[in-house]
Amino acid sequence: MRVTRNSIKMRTIICFAITLICVCILDTILSHNVEDELSTTHGFAHKCSFEQIYCYDDVQLPKPTVGLLYPRASETREVNSLDGVWELVRGNASDPLQGIREKWFGRSLRSTGREIIKVPVPASYNDLTVDQELRDHVGTVWYERHFFVPSSWNMSGTRTWIRFGSIHYACIAWINGQRAVKHSFGHLPFEVEIGRLVKYGQENRITIMVDNRLSNSTIPQGAVINESSDNGSVAVQTFTFDFFNYAGIHRSVQLYTTPAKYIKDIELKTQVNKQMGRIDYRLWIGNEQEQDVSKYINVKLLDRDRNVVTHQLNRNYHNGTLLIPNVKPWWPYLMHPEPGYMYTLEFQLMAENDLLLDSYQLPVGIRSLNWDNNSIYINGQPIYLRGFGKHEDSDIRGKGLDNALLTRDFSLLKWVGANAYRTSHYPYSEESMEFADEHGIMIIDECASVNTDLFQPELLQNHMSYLEQLIHRDRNHASVIAWSIANEPRTQKPEAKDYFGKLANYTRSIAQGRPLTAASNVDKPIKCMMSAFLDIIGFNRYNSWYHNPGRTDMIINPMFEEALSWRQLHQKPVIVFEYGADTLEGYHTLPTFIWSEEYQTTMLSKHFQAFDKLRKLKWFIGEFVWNFADFKTEQTYTRVGGNKKGVFTRNRQPKYSAYLLRQRYHMLASKLNNASLPTDLFNYIIDFGL
């Protein structure tokens, strides 16, 4: 009998289900009080009805995040990067916490006697070497590097911070052997003040333990099981999501300074009314309890040419409003001749004697965002989303930040005529969000909840915290038009109703003027226990691939009817977030055959017909191809070198379907927004006048 990774997953799920059923039967036999029996699940005390599997009465709302402004140098701030080559030690897979017990953080990693690997940061560590054990490692790895902190930073009134753009997943960082910070979520930033831990003008050591293990309560979920191998028992990380579980220090590590009294956080809300723009701002001031001087805030709005557009002196420095006559609104790509217009908002915290205390500049796009039961509106205009699902994925670097790749990706997005993408299935880098702002690409901003199952209270706690940190990070980006709270959760389960009801109600309370959405994949809309709580309905459907593979004559009607069913059930705007077919680059067949480039092109064309029928109904507002580019997955017999549904290859070259999609997206922009067509959209064929 052949044992596969999928069969291992299935056994794990079946074992859990059998255990749950047995517990329920035993409870009935012994006549135990159900409320007492379930009152201590995962440390959450609660009272539960008989019908409920989990209760969430005692799930605590997350504490609001304050701080974490992106590091930017100014007259009062300095930034030093710790990106570069670090040293890495792979932990013992059978004893992941060995390094904690032996206090590797208290000495150089070289003194542990373990193999030292030189690795770049930022990057995933998995594909950097030819070592299979490192690629497939389950457990902890340890990073280390030495660095200097300038003596000039050791002066009265200067605070020193370290900020991590993203580490996967749980991690602990030590500075000179002293614990500095701990964080649990991948894809999101965190920081800590380290002035008490560093030696100024001398060499310092930073040590970071990174743990890539996933469990039923992590975001995303997974489970580690032990399996027998030729070399004894080994830990195997199981999960159900369809992308490679890259790990490591994925984004930049930066040292930066602030003054003692400093601008700690900024929240912006913008509106456009005809020719008048409006920015409402709110500031948090660090170390504000020391009220030894009176202060005011000096606010300047600069245009692209760095000219001052408007200026304000505000003694109520916690909040204020700027009005901008003849504003240049932020518009999506191909909706306006000048898309993605970004101003720079400068805040200067001043003492009463006009002494500059702190200065921070923040890019801002000024636009209005509204929605109703039929559409989403930017500056009062309905939008139609032409886009993709994407991944942060590339050869060798994995999920590591790569500005060259970002440049290529956004060039391709504009070449193909897209105006949007979903950050499937996790938050993308802060740098990519700024690219989206500047290029006018709209973002459906998704948290890392993918294939959510086993809806425990501890999971809900983490899910809420994750969304809170995501929304706090991205709330000031004009490109973000919606929050996606999950991808393909198991919402056919009855317990999903209470879970997503609680989650959606909390997220809506902090949504910063954006609608909520998610991607469902239930076989019938009526079975989804989540979508009733959303503002925008989104679904994934692979007609002619997972459903009726090879049958391109079974696309138009099923797609139309399913979207119509979602609309009739919820009376809200509808988006198709995923549709597509795996395609092997260079494989051609006539007539079309599954996996060929011709098949992918035919499949797209059939979907276009369904989408045009839906567009006439005025509540269908978007089509997202899966995927922008090929990407790596776990090893499985259903994936040959990864997921090949991209219209671009993994190294960002077009497949045959990319040219058809380009014609579709640019023609839509021309019809809906009167955009000019590229001169090379169609090749010359014949002059019928001759």
Task: List active site positions.
Answer: 488
Give CA–CA dist 628/626, Å, rounded.
6
H or E stretch at 665: helix 656-673
H or E stretch at 263: strand 262-273
Please report which residue ranges of 386-510 form alpha helices under DSSP H: 403-416, 430-439, 457-474, 495-509
Give CA–CA dist 182/174, Å, rounded.
9
Per-residue burial over 220-233, b if 16 or more Cβ lie within 10 Å, else e, is bbbbbeeeeeeeee
Distances, alpha carbon 372 to alpha carbons 315, 386, 476, 534, 588, in Å: 38, 19, 22, 12, 45
Phi-psi region of 306 (alpha: psi -120 to 50; beta: other; left: phi over 0): left
CB 425 within 8 A of CB 241: yes
In three-state secondary structure terms, 433 is: helix
Give CA–CA dist 628/441, Å, rounded.
14
Burial (Cβ within 10 Å: 0-12, 13-18, ≥19) of residue 107:
middle
Which tokens go with 449? 């909840």
Bridge partners (DSSP) listed for residue 388: 421, 625
Long-range (24+ apart) CB contacts under 8 A made by 234-238 are 234/93, 234/94, 235/93, 235/94, 235/138, 235/139, 236/5, 236/8, 236/138, 237/138, 237/212, 237/213, 238/5, 238/8, 238/9, 238/12
Q: Half-sphere exposure of residue 601, counting CA atoms within 13 Å on the CB side? A: 19
Q: At what angle do helices 430-439 and 403-416 cross, to 10 degrees?
A: 30
Which DSSP state fits 452? -
Nearest of 407, 36, 38, 3 to residue 228 by alpha carbon: 3
Give CA–CA dist 665/662, Å, rounded.
5
Q: Where are the beta strands (DSSP E) in 59-149?
A: 79-81, 84-90, 117-121, 140-148
The angle at the Cα of 137, spanning 132 to 143, to the nearest 5 degrees, equals 110
- Total residue length of the chain: 690
